[in-house]
Amino acid sequence: VHRGFAIALSVILAALSAHAAPRVLATIKPVHSLVAAVMGGAPDLLVAGAQSEHSYALKPSDADKIGRARIVFEIGPDLETYLARPLATLTKADIVVLERAPGVHLLPARRGGLFEPDAEDGPNDPHIWLDPENAIAMTRAIAAALTKADPAHGALYAANAARQIAALQAQEKELAAQLAPLHGRPYLVFHDAYQYFERRFGLAATGSITVAPDRPVGPRRIETLRQAIRAGRIACVFREPQFPPHLIDTLTEGTSVRTGVLDPLGAALVPGPDLYPKLMRSLAGALAACLADGSR
């Protein structure tokens, strides 16, 4: 009898809690982290592992997540082209396009020099989350969307968002102090994901290795980059965990250039409210470790 009662009670409680907060889906880990902090709960996540944020292939379980979501938080069409059709056909959820949220600033994709974005890419650089000021604007947009869908918890979302914004502001000051000595140091990134971070903290990559993260790099481009490295114009070459390291090995073979790892998504980090600040700290730490030596 007791057991039956316990099961009935747990079913009722599950139903109540499911009713309490709207079902939410976030596309990438950094967005998921900001949403989790504002919700005080665990939204669904689409790109969970080490896949590229640009060319994700939806699994059947992802279609279920999209189908049951009441709100979908995405960066937007400059990043998640793979989502346009599924969102149009699988869901009636509110779609929150964070690249268009009030206060989020968009930068044009970098071109020229050692940056050569794919001609098919959109005009905007979609990696907006790597600027903490954008993360603050995104946090406000997330709180507004959650409150609209679930006004009963508006005060909770407002309080969580205020706490998150204060933490982001404090971390921005810390990172600015940590990165100030690195101004002007030249480095290559794997793909051009870090412009927002660099602008905010006064850094500037010399170039990116891939023109598009999912395409092979041509021999002429490899030779151009090898020349820049051999000429001593590069202090550090960064790879990314989403892509195999053999290309970096080809580029740096026979040189003394340092290498490091930059991860724009938090591929190895546990999803949740702490992921975003950990991601930013690990980017700053990787840059500082590879560039701190002023020998170049």
The stretch among 157-165, 191-199, 247-255, 288-296 that binds Zn ion (CB under 5 A) is 191-199
Specify the residue, 81 or 178, whose C-beta has the smaller distance to Zn ion: 81
Does 182 bind Zn ion (CB under 5 A)? Our answer is no
The stretch among 10-18, 29-37, 145-153, 193-201 that binds Zn ion (CB under 5 A) is 193-201
Half-sphere exposure of 155 (CA within 13 A, CB side): 1
> Least distance to Zn ion from the beta carbon of 125, Å?
9
DSSP 28: E
E strand or H helix that includes residue 72: strand 71-74
Q: Which two tokens stand for residue 2?
A: 């007791």
Specify the residue, 150 or 240, whose C-beta has the smaller distance to Zn ion: 240
For the residues of 224-282, what is the DSSP string, one character each?
A: HHHHHHHTT--SEEEE-TTS-THHHHHHHTTS--EEEE--SS-TTSPPSTTHHHHHHHH
Does 193 bind Zn ion (CB under 5 A)? Our answer is yes
Judged by CB under 5 A, the number of residues near Zn ion is 1
Q: Which two tokens stand for residue 47?
A: 């790109």
Specify the residue, 52 or 178, whose C-beta has the smaller distance to Zn ion: 52
DSSP 100: G
The stretch among 147-155, 168-176, 185-193, 203-211 that binds Zn ion (CB under 5 A) is 185-193
Does 47 bind Zn ion (CB under 5 A)? Our answer is no
Q: Which residue is nearest to Zn ion (CB)?
A: 193
Which residues in the 125-144 window bind Zn ion by CB under 5 A? none
Q: Is 249 exposed, middle or buried (0-12, 13-18, 19+ CB in 10 A)?
A: exposed
The stretch among 57-65, 110-118, 176-184, 189-197 that binds Zn ion (CB under 5 A) is 189-197
The stretch among 4-12, 31-39, 80-88, 190-198 that binds Zn ion (CB under 5 A) is 190-198
Q: What are the helix (H) ranges across 51-151?
A: 60-68, 84-90, 132-149
Specify the residue, 138 or 193, whose C-beta has the smaller distance to Zn ion: 193
Specify the residue, 54 or 65, whose C-beta has the smaller distance to Zn ion: 54
Taking alpha carbons only, the member of 225, 226, 190 closest to residue 54 is 190
Query: Where on the chain is the footprint of Zn ion (CB under 5 A)?
Result: 193
